[in-house]
Structure 1
Amino acid sequence: MNEFLGTFFSLDNIFFTTIIPFLFVLTVVVFVHEMGHYLVGRWCGIGVREFSIGFGPELIGFNVRKGTRWKLSAIPLGGYVKFMGDMSVTSDPSAQETHALTPEERRGAFHLQPVWKRAATVFAGPLANFILTIAVFAVMFTIYGRYVSEPMVAEVRPDSAAEEAGFQPGDRFVSIDGTRVTTFGDVQRLVSGRAGDSITFVMLRDEQEVTLMATPQLVEQEDALGNTIRIGVIGVVNNQELGQPRHIEFGVGEALVEATKETGHIIARTGQFFQRFVAGREDRCQLGGPVRIADMAGKAAALGFEWLVQLVAMLSVGIGILNLLPIPPLDGGHLAFYAAEATMRRPVSERVMEMFYRVGMLVVLGFMLFVFWNDLFGC
């Protein structure tokens, strides 16, 4: 018995080293997303019947004075907010269901609200995810600051894209495809997702600007959590002498601005990745599902709580972006319907919504199966 307890409570036990960190990360991200829907919905006067973390059978729950059932459900891979009157998958209840509502329920029914209130409520979920990411980064920048270095070329790797393009030691990056560069980190950010693309670099050499063209090559590297990632590089190296690395400290306001910029960069990079992925120009193994997230959560937790919180921030912005894709039943699919309704000045017919919903469900389920396959067998 003592041996069993020792094994169960040991640090090597998967429950403590992987499952708990995974549930922490996922629960925080889901809770913030659904809380965004909830808060804006209530601000718009919409009644809320249920707020659930997880799907399936209820594990525990309680009712509050305003009639909302708050609950924790058995399958911890998401969550939902059920608004008053939101009774069908298309958020368009039948006339019979609408007639069954009391006058008070009609005032708070989701589907009877102006289109801008419905759109604001739906958009609030992804927006809350972005705000969470900004908040985490702002705290991190306030506490730790960040290290930066000058965008200088100290060395050009032999047989690299940079050597072929004519880069020379002592060159300073000015811009990349028209985007101004101020740190070497900017160079890495703008190049890493562009493997195989021809990129225009403006360099400062002997106080004159020189324009060079280079195509980043795809290489494999390990990230801070030990995951193998594939990124684009041109083959230039920075060093301490030319890069002059320094530590920057931020006040609260400055940290918030920097965090917002950083979140914007991540959103842009993620959008770029999906565009290239759809075009067949990104490795499918770069996409993972719950199994990979659980593995990353365990590794992050082993490195320290601040790493786990950073993983929360990264996953949160990813969930926000995914939910904005214009695919029913994702938030972006509903927003597309509301945009059509605002344009036509009448709701999209239930038949059309049902058709798009079924196609969207197949797309979402196909994507889920794809990432599960990647997690378990594909990579």
Structure 2
Amino acid sequence: MNNFLFYLAAFAPLLGALIIFHEYGHYLVARLAGVKVLRFSIGFGRAIWSKRIGRDGTEWCVGVFPLGGYVKMLDEREGEVDPRELHRSFNRQSVWRRMAIVVAGPVANLLLAVLVYWGLFWHGTEELKPVLGAPAAASPAAMAGIEGGEQVRKVGDEVVQTWQGMHWALIRQAVDQDLIKLEVINQRNEISLRRLDVSSARAGGWEGDALAKLGISFYRPRIPPVLAKISPDSAAAVAGLHSGDEILAIDSKPVVTWPDVVHGVRSSPGKALIFEVSRNGERHVIEVIPAIIDEGGKEIGRIGATVRDAGASRSDLMITVRYGLISALGKAIEETWNKSVFSFAMIGKMITGEVSWRNISGPVTIADYAGQSARLGVDYYFKFLALVSISLAVLNLLPIPILDGGHLLYYVVEIITKAPLSERSMDIGQRIGLALLLMLMAFAFYNDIDRLISG
């Protein structure tokens, strides 16, 4: 239950920020164009809170269903309009003004993404270096000759500094290519060129974790299971474990690395475990009973001991990315543009069948990722917010009637024919658009449920 509340607490402000920015874009440009705004609503259905503000008495409200929002403007098609206010009616505006009002929502979401990226790039973010783990045998990465510990310097001709940057560059280029060149440098400072065959991932429609299917994973240095600090009164201290003890086995199962110890302890809350340890060259057998700890509604074991630092240092695996004020803005615009173009390209690939529709995510998956990113830290949470904001802008710009892009399509037709579409044509378009949107939502919810069931 606590875990659910945490994820809900992470999802709610993210969704609220995206909706408010989107609808405020419509509202602001409508006001600048001289259109009277009757209602600004966050959510749909019956209002659970409302207040009239301003000279026009605009009703600001929160609806009972919070997944979305709308701005209601004065419009002759939706009711009688006072003759003195006809000039402030939306339908009386020029087609260019109507287009500006409609496109302002998606543009506001793109501007939000730019602002978030700008702040992050200027402040500086600590990110993983693109250091590769040892690939699984017979995977495309293994066939390319990739070795554990190699750091990617270039994907194609694009220089990369971070794991995320490498990820985006690889996926972006792999959408249209079967063979991707990776320039890597190993731990002996030798530079090599690896040719990664991504055809198998493309053939599978990029369903699931594309990098894992290619055999690409982050490098995890081997951490010997040698204890460092023992917390006073902890399960480890009570059992008689000492700093410097090397754990050889747990319940007769050999231990090779520290994650083996963590797994054995976490999966055995309150259960007596037999530790075989090496201390000053002598072998000892010690019974340890992990304390029972609640973690997100699930019981796990903990002994209260840390591992001795070994292997790769933090500086070997992490890099701080920071830009100046102006260059950070340029980088933010570039990041937003690249992700927007990539999103449109992926949608096009879904329509042609080159990318699986199972990649579509709904609110459940978004809430899950929001919670995960919040646990990782503020930087990750804001990066996820920017990414979802871009996705919302792209979705709304699709030429589907009922979405902003559908209205823009109507206005383009109006410019070409020099006459607005008939109400009959627009009504048919709205029905088709609603059906398409409901079908898209059904796909998204189905994928969400399938992910929950299958993990």
What is the TM-score with the length of structure 2 in the denominator?
0.65
User: Separation in 2 of the partners of 1:303 and 1:86?
Assistant: 50
> How much does 1:32 deviate?
0.4
User: Separation in 2 of the partners of 1:308 and 1:174?
Assistant: 27
One-letter amino acid matched to 1:84: L
> How much does 1:346 deviate?
1.2
CA contact (8 A) 1:157 1:237 kept: no
- Are positions 1:39 and 2:18 aligned together? no
- Are positions 1:351 and 2:424 aligned together? yes
The equivalent of 1:143 in structure 2 is 123
Pair 1:199–1:272, CA change in 2 (3 A): farther
> How much does 1:68 deviate?
0.8
One-letter amino acid matched to 1:22: F
User: Separation in 2 of the partners of 1:274 and 1:266?
Assistant: 12
* Deviations 1:314-343 (CA, angstroms, capped at 9, x unpaired): 211111110000001000000011111112
CA contact (8 A) 1:167 1:212 kept: no
User: Separation in 2 of the partners of 1:197 and 1:167?
Assistant: 19
State, as a whole percentage, how many aligned pairs show the same letter: 30
* Deviations 1:73-93 (CA, angstroms, capped at 9, x unpaired): 1000000000111645xxxxx
User: Separation in 1 of the partners of 2:330 and 2:88?
Assistant: 37
- Are positions 1:132 and 2:205 aligned together? no
User: Which of residues 8, 22, 26 in structure 2 aligns to 1:19?
Assistant: 8
SS across alignment from 2:66: strand
User: Separation in 1 of the partners of 2:395 and 2:168?
Assistant: 21
CA contact (8 A) 1:17 1:302 kept: no
> How much does 1:166 deviate?
7.8
- Are positions 1:192 and 2:168 aligned together? no
- Segment drifting more, 265-274 vs 294-303: 294-303
Pair 1:245–1:36, CA change in 2 (3 A): same
The equivalent of 1:332 in structure 2 is 405
Give the RMSD, CA atoms, in angstroms.
Answer: 3.7
Name the structure where helix makes up a greater proportion of residues.
Answer: 1
> How much does 1:171 deviate?
11
The equivalent of 2:201 in structure 1 is 218
User: Which has the bigger relative contact order, CA under 8 A and spacing at least 6?
Assistant: 1
The equivalent of 1:82 in structure 2 is 72
CA contact (8 A) 1:174 1:204 kept: yes
> How much does 1:358 deviate?
1.0
One-letter amino acid matched to 1:218: A
SS across alignment from 2:354: coil
* Deviations 1:32-71 (CA, angstroms, capped at 9, x unpaired): 0000000011111111000000000011111112221100
SS across alignment from 2:201: strand
How many residues of Structure 1 are paired with residues of Structure 2 in the alignment?
Answer: 345
- Are positions 1:113 and 2:72 aligned together? no
One-letter amino acid matched to 2:373: A
Structure 1 residue runs without a partner (length 5+): 1-10, 89-96, 220-227
The equivalent of 1:280 in structure 2 is 353
The equivalent of 1:56 in structure 2 is 45
Pair 1:364–1:346, CA change in 2 (3 A): same
SS across alignment from 1:218: helix
> How much does 1:175 deviate?
6.5
Pair 1:376–1:144, CA change in 2 (3 A): same
One-letter amino acid matched to 1:54: G
The equivalent of 1:91 in structure 2 is none
CA contact (8 A) 2:105 2:393 kept: yes
> How much does 1:348 deviate?
1.7
User: Separation in 1 of the partners of 2:398 and 2:418?
Assistant: 23
- Are positions 1:123 and 2:103 aligned together? yes
CA contact (8 A) 2:135 2:142 kept: yes
CA contact (8 A) 1:152 1:173 kept: no
> How much does 1:181 deviate?
3.6
SS across alignment from 2:57: coil
One-letter amino acid matched to 1:130: L
What is the TM-score with the length of structure 1 in the denominator?
0.77
Structure 2 residue runs without a partner (length 5+): 186-191, 220-311
- Radius of gyration: which is bigger? 2
- Segment drifting more, 231-240 vs 38-47: 231-240
> How much does 1:142 deviate?
1.7
> How much does 1:367 deviate?
0.9
* Deviations 1:249-279 (CA, angstroms, capped at 9, x unpaired): 2222221111111112221232232222223
One-letter amino acid matched to 2:361: G
SS across alignment from 1:57: strand
- Segment drifting more, 111-120 vs 262-271: 262-271
CA contact (8 A) 1:196 1:218 kept: no
The equivalent of 1:298 in structure 2 is 371
